[in-house]
C-alpha cells in the first residue's frame, strides 16, 4: 500500500497554504495498492518533533477502501474525524513553535469498519485498530514557520 500527495514528495517541505500560516486545509492525498479485502482506511497525521510529545494533527477513519484520493480541504463521504491535540476535531495544519518539524501522514487498511464515536482521541483509535491492520503506508512532509 502507498500514500502520496501530488503537492509535495515525502521528505519535502509542506506548502504554507496547508499550515497555520496559510489556509490551514488538508493537502490532497492519494492511495495505491489498497488490499482487496480492506473494509476501511484510517489516516493519522502527527508531529513527533513537538517538544511536548507527539502532536496529533488529524485523525480520519472509516474511509471507504474504494477511495483513491482525498481532495484538498475535504473529507470523504462517510469518514469520521477524531479529536486532535489542538482540542478540536478535524484537520489542524503544521504550526511549529520553533525549528523544522516532520509531519507524518500514515494510512492504515483495516479488515473492519470502526465503531467509535466522532471526536475520539488517537489512543482510542489506535486501540480499536489493534489486530485489524491489513497494511500500512506513510509519507512525511516538513515545515518551519517563517518569522
pLDDT digits (tens, 9 = 90+) for 105-139: 999 999 999 999 999 999 999 999 999 999 999 99
pLDDT digits 0-9 by tens, 38-62: 999 999 999 999 999 999 999 999 9
Q: Alpha-carbon distance 113 to 129, whole Å?
A: 10
Q: 125 in helix, strand or coil?
A: helix
Q: Are 65 and 40 in contact (CB under 8 A)?
A: yes
Amino acid at each position: 500500500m502507498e500514500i502520496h500527495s501530488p503537492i509535495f514528495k515525502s521528505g519535502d517541505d509542506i506548502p504554507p497554504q496547508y499550515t497555520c500560516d496559510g489556509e490551514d486545509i488538508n493537502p490532497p492525498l492519494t492511495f495505491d495498492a489498497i488490499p482487496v479485502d480492506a473494509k476501511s482506511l484510517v489516516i493519522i497525521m502527527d508531529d513527533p518533533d513537538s517538544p511536548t510529545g507527539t502532536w496529533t494533527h488529524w485523525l480520519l477513519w472509516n474511509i471507504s477502501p474504494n477511495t483513491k484520493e482525498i481532495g484538498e480541504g475535504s473529507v470523504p463521504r462517510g469518514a469520521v474525524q477524531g479529536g486532535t491535540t489542538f482540542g478540536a476535531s478535524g484537520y489542524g495544519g503544521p504550526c511549529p513553535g520553533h525549528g523544522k518539524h516532520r509531519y507524518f501522514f500514515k494510512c492504515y487498511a483495516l479488515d473492519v469498519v470502526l465503531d467509535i464515536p466522532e471526536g475520539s482521541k488517537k489512543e482510542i483509535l489506535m486501540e480499536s485498530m489493534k489486530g485489524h491492520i491489513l497494511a500500512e503506508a506513510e509519507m512525511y512532509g516538513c515545515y518551519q514557520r517563517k518569522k
